[in-house]
Amino acid sequence: MNFDVVVSCAVTGAGDTTEKSPHVPVTPKEVADAAIEAAKAGAAIAHIHVRDPETGKGSRDPKLFKEVVDRVRDSNTDVVINLTAGMGGDWVPDQNNPAMPGPGTDMIGPEERLAHVKECMPEICSLDCGTLNFGNGDEIYISTPPMLRKMAQLTKEWGVKPELEVFELGHIRFATQMISEGLVADPPMFQICLGIPWGADQSVDTMKTMKDHLPDGANWAGFGISRMQMPMAATAVALGGNVRVGLEDNIYLDRGVLATNGQLVTRAVEIIERMGARALSPAEARKKLNLRGA
């Protein structure tokens, strides 16, 4: 059981959710406002993606990230900023020639995947620790070992804590290897990501199994998607971990009731407190996670 819980809010993501809920933030101002809303509701960390303001689709434009980060920092809201570094790994094979990229492919190298991180210098950025089939289409998310080693090396040089996102046991195995090679500073920080097709399923047994494979001394959080968001939040706390909620992973507060990020954080904090634990402040989270400047 974890009695001192770090709550993270993933405020928008890159999925096709903007047409399903008016609360999913799109513009830099909306994303920044969502991060501030989450912090005021009790989140210590805001996990941030950006979207193209014209289309609502996920983007990796460093200028959009910079605007969001500047808006949050200029608001004087105390929240740990965690920028995604997961954009730029999408491969869709061409239907006529599968050896070549088709429409929807967006593949770039490790330095370019981290361009916005270097520009903004957040305290945390995500690092998706392996390749994964995404959904039932032809889309594959690709992160090769050389790419990941280079990204880990750069973030360590910059003093940015990598949030090691793991979607299945093989990802944990490789992340642990990078730690053993000295590419990740102590203590490592993991995010157990459950329910994403076709990664690990979201269940108590799965979360416990993945948690049991983490290296000794690691900080970790876990999340589930859709209706399993809050059950997996409670499971993470019970198993000794931290919590992630937010509109990236789930757009509903209750059945048929669309949520805001602030409402999801409030619900998570209520669950944590009813379990006899408490949500840490950003300053406390920095110390627990050994972030830069803590």
CATH number for the domain spanning 190: value is 3.20.20.70
- Report yes or no on 166 lying in a domain: yes
To which residue do tokens 């949050």 refer?
72
Condensed to tens digits (0 to 9), the pLDDT of residues 156-215 reads 999 999 999 999 999 999 999 999 999 999 999 999 999 999 999 999 999 999 999 999
- Report yes or no on 156 lying in a domain: yes
Domains identified in the chain, total number:
1
**pLDDT for the residue numbered 261:** 98
- For 275-287, letters b (16+ CB in 10 Å) and e give bebebbebeebbe
- Report yes or no on 294 lying in a domain: no
Domain limits at 99? Answer: 4-289
User: In this structure, what token pair is assigned to residue 14?
Assistant: 């890159």
Q: Does residue 293 register a pLDDT over 80?
A: no
- Report yes or no on 106 lying in a domain: yes
Side chain identity, residue 92:
V
Q: Give the Cβ contact number of residue 292 at 10 Å.
A: 14
- Report yes or no on 125 lying in a domain: yes
- Report yes or no on 86 lying in a domain: yes
CA–CA dist 86, 142 (Å, integer):
10
CA–CA dist 279, 147 (Å, integer):
35
| Mean predicted confidence (pLDDT) in 227-240 | 98
Condensed to tens digits (0 to 9), the pLDDT of residues 110-164 reads 999 999 999 999 999 999 999 999 888 999 999 999 999 999 999 999 999 999 9
CA–CA dist 142, 114 (Å, integer):
15
| Mean predicted confidence (pLDDT) in 22-37 | 98
